[in-house]
Amino acid sequence: MGSIQQASATVTGTQAPVIAITELAKSFGSRCILSNLVLTVPAGQSLALIGANGTGKSTLLRMIVRLADADSGRIAVLGEEVGSLRGARLKRFRSRVGVVFQKHNLVARISALSNVVHGVQSRRPGPRSWLQALAPADVRAEAMACLEAVGLADKAMQRADSLSGGQSQRVAIARMLMQRPELVLADEPDASLDPRAGREIMELLFRLTRDKGLTLVFVSHHMAHARRFADRIVGLADGGVALDRRAEACSEAELAAFFEEPEEPAPAEPAAPFAVPVLA
Protein backbone atom coordinates (compact mmCIF):
# COMPACT_ATOMS: atom_id res chain seq x y z
CA MET A 1 0.00 0.00 0.00
CA GLY A 2 3.07 2.19 0.26
CA SER A 3 2.95 3.32 -3.37
CA ILE A 4 -0.66 4.38 -2.93
CA GLN A 5 0.12 6.41 0.14
CA GLN A 6 2.94 8.14 -1.70
CA ALA A 7 0.63 8.91 -4.60
CA SER A 8 -2.19 10.25 -2.45
CA ALA A 9 -3.09 13.89 -2.68
CA THR A 10 -6.01 15.51 -0.90
CA VAL A 11 -8.71 16.99 -3.08
CA THR A 12 -9.86 20.26 -1.64
CA GLY A 13 -13.38 21.53 -2.26
CA THR A 14 -14.33 25.17 -2.39
CA GLN A 15 -17.86 24.81 -0.94
CA ALA A 16 -18.84 24.34 2.73
CA PRO A 17 -18.36 20.69 3.66
CA VAL A 18 -21.42 18.47 3.91
CA ILE A 19 -19.40 15.87 5.81
CA ALA A 20 -16.47 16.74 8.08
CA ILE A 21 -14.86 13.83 9.89
CA THR A 22 -11.88 14.27 12.20
CA GLU A 23 -9.78 11.74 14.12
CA LEU A 24 -12.41 9.03 13.83
CA ALA A 25 -11.70 5.65 15.39
CA LYS A 26 -13.73 2.46 15.48
CA SER A 27 -12.90 -1.04 16.68
CA PHE A 28 -14.84 -4.27 16.90
CA GLY A 29 -13.43 -6.02 19.95
CA SER A 30 -9.68 -6.10 19.57
CA ARG A 31 -9.89 -5.51 15.80
CA CYS A 32 -9.24 -1.90 14.83
CA ILE A 33 -11.27 -0.94 11.76
CA LEU A 34 -10.65 2.78 11.57
CA SER A 35 -8.09 4.91 13.39
CA ASN A 36 -7.54 8.63 13.14
CA LEU A 37 -9.61 8.96 9.96
CA VAL A 38 -9.94 12.46 8.55
CA LEU A 39 -12.30 13.17 5.66
CA THR A 40 -14.12 16.21 4.32
CA VAL A 41 -16.78 16.06 1.60
CA PRO A 42 -17.91 19.34 0.00
CA ALA A 43 -21.48 19.94 -1.16
CA GLY A 44 -22.46 18.55 -4.54
CA GLN A 45 -19.51 16.17 -4.81
CA SER A 46 -19.77 12.54 -5.86
CA LEU A 47 -17.29 10.54 -3.82
CA ALA A 48 -16.43 6.86 -4.19
CA LEU A 49 -15.18 4.97 -1.15
CA ILE A 50 -13.07 1.99 -2.12
CA GLY A 51 -11.06 -0.57 -0.20
CA ALA A 52 -10.78 -4.27 0.50
CA ASN A 53 -13.36 -6.06 2.68
CA GLY A 54 -13.07 -5.14 6.35
CA THR A 55 -11.45 -1.73 5.80
CA GLY A 56 -14.45 0.06 7.35
CA LYS A 57 -16.25 1.52 4.32
CA SER A 58 -19.73 0.35 5.30
CA THR A 59 -19.03 1.04 8.97
CA LEU A 60 -18.09 4.60 8.05
CA LEU A 61 -21.38 5.10 6.17
CA ARG A 62 -23.30 3.63 9.12
CA MET A 63 -21.53 5.97 11.53
CA ILE A 64 -22.42 8.97 9.34
CA VAL A 65 -26.14 8.29 9.94
CA ARG A 66 -25.46 7.00 13.45
CA LEU A 67 -26.53 3.43 12.82
CA ALA A 68 -23.20 2.70 14.52
CA ASP A 69 -21.32 4.75 17.11
CA ALA A 70 -17.71 5.83 16.78
CA ASP A 71 -15.25 4.98 19.58
CA SER A 72 -13.73 8.46 19.34
CA GLY A 73 -13.48 11.37 16.95
CA ARG A 74 -16.01 13.76 15.51
CA ILE A 75 -18.50 13.47 12.65
CA ALA A 76 -20.25 16.64 11.50
CA VAL A 77 -22.85 16.14 8.76
CA LEU A 78 -25.08 18.87 7.29
CA GLY A 79 -24.07 21.13 10.16
CA GLU A 80 -25.02 18.61 12.86
CA GLU A 81 -22.71 16.91 15.35
CA VAL A 82 -23.85 13.35 14.66
CA GLY A 83 -22.54 11.91 17.94
CA SER A 84 -24.69 14.23 20.04
CA LEU A 85 -27.98 13.55 18.24
CA ARG A 86 -30.74 11.77 20.15
CA GLY A 87 -34.48 11.11 19.79
CA ALA A 88 -36.43 13.55 17.61
CA ARG A 89 -33.27 15.46 16.56
CA LEU A 90 -31.69 12.22 15.32
CA LYS A 91 -34.86 11.38 13.37
CA ARG A 92 -34.92 14.87 11.81
CA PHE A 93 -31.25 14.54 10.89
CA ARG A 94 -31.72 11.07 9.38
CA SER A 95 -34.59 12.36 7.25
CA ARG A 96 -32.08 14.69 5.54
CA VAL A 97 -29.77 11.81 4.57
CA GLY A 98 -30.91 9.27 1.98
CA VAL A 99 -29.36 5.82 2.27
CA VAL A 100 -29.34 3.16 -0.44
CA PHE A 101 -28.29 -0.22 0.92
CA GLN A 102 -26.55 -3.08 -0.83
CA LYS A 103 -29.68 -5.15 -0.17
CA HIS A 104 -32.63 -3.02 -1.22
CA ASN A 105 -34.42 -3.58 2.14
CA LEU A 106 -37.91 -3.19 0.73
CA VAL A 107 -40.96 -4.45 2.63
CA ALA A 108 -41.63 -7.59 0.62
CA ARG A 109 -45.37 -8.13 0.89
CA ILE A 110 -46.57 -4.66 -0.09
CA SER A 111 -46.58 -2.76 -3.39
CA ALA A 112 -43.67 -0.82 -4.85
CA LEU A 113 -45.75 2.37 -4.45
CA SER A 114 -46.35 1.71 -0.73
CA ASN A 115 -42.61 1.21 -0.27
CA VAL A 116 -41.95 4.57 -1.93
CA VAL A 117 -44.64 6.25 0.21
CA HIS A 118 -42.64 5.13 3.29
CA GLY A 119 -40.02 7.70 2.27
CA VAL A 120 -42.32 10.47 3.51
CA GLN A 121 -42.52 9.11 7.06
CA SER A 122 -40.13 11.58 8.62
CA ARG A 123 -41.97 14.58 7.13
CA ARG A 124 -45.51 13.23 7.44
CA PRO A 125 -45.60 10.72 10.32
CA GLY A 126 -48.79 8.82 11.09
CA PRO A 127 -50.96 6.07 9.61
CA ARG A 128 -51.37 7.89 6.28
CA SER A 129 -47.74 7.16 5.39
CA TRP A 130 -47.92 3.45 6.23
CA LEU A 131 -49.48 2.31 2.95
CA GLN A 132 -50.24 3.90 -0.42
CA ALA A 133 -53.96 3.15 0.08
CA LEU A 134 -54.01 5.40 3.15
CA ALA A 135 -51.75 8.14 1.74
CA PRO A 136 -53.06 11.62 0.86
CA ALA A 137 -53.35 12.44 -2.85
CA ASP A 138 -50.27 14.72 -2.91
CA VAL A 139 -48.10 12.04 -1.29
CA ARG A 140 -49.32 9.41 -3.77
CA ALA A 141 -48.62 11.80 -6.66
CA GLU A 142 -45.10 12.52 -5.39
CA ALA A 143 -44.43 8.80 -4.88
CA MET A 144 -45.60 8.11 -8.45
CA ALA A 145 -43.29 10.88 -9.72
CA CYS A 146 -40.37 9.25 -7.85
CA LEU A 147 -41.20 5.87 -9.40
CA GLU A 148 -41.39 7.56 -12.79
CA ALA A 149 -37.96 9.10 -12.21
CA VAL A 150 -36.50 5.59 -11.77
CA GLY A 151 -38.50 4.24 -14.74
CA LEU A 152 -40.86 2.03 -12.78
CA ALA A 153 -44.20 3.86 -12.87
CA ASP A 154 -45.75 0.83 -14.60
CA LYS A 155 -44.76 -1.43 -11.68
CA ALA A 156 -46.29 0.80 -8.99
CA MET A 157 -48.89 -1.70 -7.82
CA GLN A 158 -46.69 -4.76 -8.17
CA ARG A 159 -45.64 -6.44 -4.91
CA ALA A 160 -42.03 -5.70 -4.00
CA ASP A 161 -41.15 -9.40 -3.72
CA SER A 162 -42.16 -9.95 -7.35
CA LEU A 163 -39.62 -7.43 -8.71
CA SER A 164 -36.17 -8.31 -10.04
CA GLY A 165 -33.02 -7.28 -8.12
CA GLY A 166 -32.44 -4.26 -10.36
CA GLN A 167 -36.09 -3.15 -10.13
CA SER A 168 -36.06 -3.54 -6.35
CA GLN A 169 -32.96 -1.35 -6.13
CA ARG A 170 -34.71 1.25 -8.32
CA VAL A 171 -37.68 1.25 -5.93
CA ALA A 172 -35.24 1.72 -3.04
CA ILE A 173 -33.80 4.74 -4.89
CA ALA A 174 -37.33 6.09 -5.46
CA ARG A 175 -38.00 5.71 -1.71
CA MET A 176 -34.80 7.63 -1.04
CA LEU A 177 -35.91 10.41 -3.45
CA MET A 178 -39.28 10.59 -1.67
CA GLN A 179 -37.31 11.50 1.43
CA ARG A 180 -36.06 14.67 -0.33
CA PRO A 181 -32.54 14.17 1.04
CA GLU A 182 -29.70 16.68 1.05
CA LEU A 183 -27.02 13.99 1.15
CA VAL A 184 -27.10 10.49 -0.38
CA LEU A 185 -25.10 7.54 0.95
CA ALA A 186 -25.02 4.33 -1.08
CA ASP A 187 -23.44 1.17 0.31
CA GLU A 188 -22.50 -1.01 -2.68
CA PRO A 189 -25.79 -0.43 -4.52
CA ASP A 190 -24.35 -2.35 -7.49
CA ALA A 191 -23.05 -5.36 -5.53
CA SER A 192 -25.87 -7.89 -5.75
CA LEU A 193 -26.77 -7.12 -9.38
CA ASP A 194 -25.53 -8.42 -12.71
CA PRO A 195 -22.97 -6.14 -14.44
CA ARG A 196 -25.53 -4.44 -16.69
CA ALA A 197 -28.12 -3.84 -13.93
CA GLY A 198 -25.33 -2.67 -11.61
CA ARG A 199 -24.13 -0.13 -14.15
CA GLU A 200 -27.69 1.06 -14.81
CA ILE A 201 -28.30 1.54 -11.08
CA MET A 202 -25.10 3.55 -10.71
CA GLU A 203 -25.97 5.66 -13.78
CA LEU A 204 -29.42 6.33 -12.36
CA LEU A 205 -28.13 7.20 -8.90
CA PHE A 206 -25.44 9.48 -10.33
CA ARG A 207 -27.84 11.22 -12.74
CA LEU A 208 -30.55 11.79 -10.13
CA THR A 209 -28.16 13.14 -7.49
CA ARG A 210 -26.31 15.29 -10.04
CA ASP A 211 -29.60 16.72 -11.43
CA LYS A 212 -30.66 17.74 -7.92
CA GLY A 213 -27.18 18.96 -6.98
CA LEU A 214 -26.98 16.44 -4.10
CA THR A 215 -23.82 15.17 -2.48
CA LEU A 216 -23.28 11.45 -3.14
CA VAL A 217 -20.98 9.15 -1.21
CA PHE A 218 -20.97 5.59 -2.49
CA VAL A 219 -19.07 2.42 -1.72
CA SER A 220 -18.19 0.23 -4.68
CA HIS A 221 -15.94 -2.68 -5.50
CA HIS A 222 -16.31 -1.89 -9.21
CA MET A 223 -13.36 0.30 -10.08
CA ALA A 224 -14.92 1.22 -13.42
CA HIS A 225 -17.96 2.57 -11.54
CA ALA A 226 -15.76 4.46 -9.11
CA ARG A 227 -13.87 6.13 -11.94
CA ARG A 228 -16.94 6.85 -14.02
CA PHE A 229 -19.46 8.03 -11.43
CA ALA A 230 -17.26 9.75 -8.85
CA ASP A 231 -15.59 13.15 -8.91
CA ARG A 232 -13.23 11.93 -6.24
CA ILE A 233 -12.03 8.54 -5.04
CA VAL A 234 -11.06 7.85 -1.45
CA GLY A 235 -9.36 4.55 -0.71
CA LEU A 236 -9.38 3.12 2.81
CA ALA A 237 -6.62 0.85 4.07
CA ASP A 238 -4.94 0.14 7.40
CA GLY A 239 -7.60 2.08 9.30
CA GLY A 240 -7.26 5.35 7.42
CA VAL A 241 -7.34 7.17 4.11
CA ALA A 242 -4.67 5.68 1.85
CA LEU A 243 -5.76 7.41 -1.36
CA ASP A 244 -7.63 10.67 -1.92
CA ARG A 245 -7.64 12.18 -5.38
CA ARG A 246 -9.73 13.21 -8.35
CA ALA A 247 -11.27 10.22 -10.15
CA GLU A 248 -9.80 11.09 -13.52
CA ALA A 249 -6.32 11.12 -11.99
CA CYS A 250 -6.62 7.53 -10.70
CA SER A 251 -5.26 4.73 -12.84
CA GLU A 252 -6.81 1.24 -13.01
CA ALA A 253 -3.63 -0.31 -11.61
CA GLU A 254 -3.51 2.11 -8.73
CA LEU A 255 -7.08 1.29 -7.71
CA ALA A 256 -6.61 -2.44 -8.25
CA ALA A 257 -3.75 -2.34 -5.72
CA PHE A 258 -6.38 -1.91 -2.99
CA PHE A 259 -7.73 -5.38 -3.64
CA GLU A 260 -4.51 -7.29 -4.15
CA GLU A 261 -3.82 -10.13 -1.73
CA PRO A 262 -0.55 -9.80 0.20
CA GLU A 263 2.05 -12.19 -1.19
CA GLU A 264 2.21 -15.49 0.66
CA PRO A 265 5.06 -18.01 0.65
CA ALA A 266 4.63 -20.84 -1.88
CA PRO A 267 3.14 -24.00 -0.33
CA ALA A 268 5.63 -26.78 0.45
CA GLU A 269 5.62 -29.93 -1.67
CA PRO A 270 3.45 -32.70 -0.18
CA ALA A 271 5.48 -35.31 1.74
CA ALA A 272 3.95 -38.21 -0.16
CA PRO A 273 2.05 -38.35 -3.44
CA PHE A 274 -1.76 -38.50 -3.14
CA ALA A 275 -3.12 -42.06 -3.30
CA VAL A 276 -5.04 -42.64 -6.51
CA PRO A 277 -7.72 -45.38 -6.44
CA VAL A 278 -6.87 -48.14 -8.90
CA LEU A 279 -9.70 -49.26 -11.14
CA ALA A 280 -9.82 -52.98 -11.78
Contact residues toward other proteins (CB under 8 A) are 65, 67, 90-95, 97, 99, 101, 103, 105-110, 118-119, 121-122, 125-127, 129-131, 172, 175, 179, 277-280
Numbers of helices and strands, H then E, in the chain: 9, 10
Which residues, including other chains, have CB under 8 Å from residue 254's CB and lie 6 or more apart?
3, 4, 7, 243
Alpha-carbon distance values, 165 to 85, 111, 155 (Å): 34, 15, 14
Judged by beta carbon, residue 91 or residue 207, the one nearer other proteins is: 91
- Least separation in angstroms between CB 101 and other proteins: 6
Alpha-carbon distance values, 256 to 62, 223, 236, 248 (Å): 25, 8, 13, 15
- Least separation in angstroms between CB 113 and other proteins: 13
Judged by beta carbon, residue 67 or residue 256, the one nearer other proteins is: 67
Judged by beta carbon, residue 5 or residue 121, the one nearer other proteins is: 121
- Least separation in angstroms between CB 105 and other proteins: 4
Judged by beta carbon, residue 37 or residue 172, the one nearer other proteins is: 172
- Least separation in angstroms between CB 98 and other proteins: 8
Strand 17-28 vs strand 72-77: parallel, antiparallel, or unpaired? antiparallel
Which residues, including other chains, have CB under 8 Å from residue 102's CB and lie 6 or more apart?
58, 187, 188, 189, 191, 192
- Least separation in angstroms between CB 20 and other proteins: 20
Judged by beta carbon, residue 38 or residue 134, the one nearer other proteins is: 134
Cβ–Cβ under 8 Å, residues 112 and 83: no
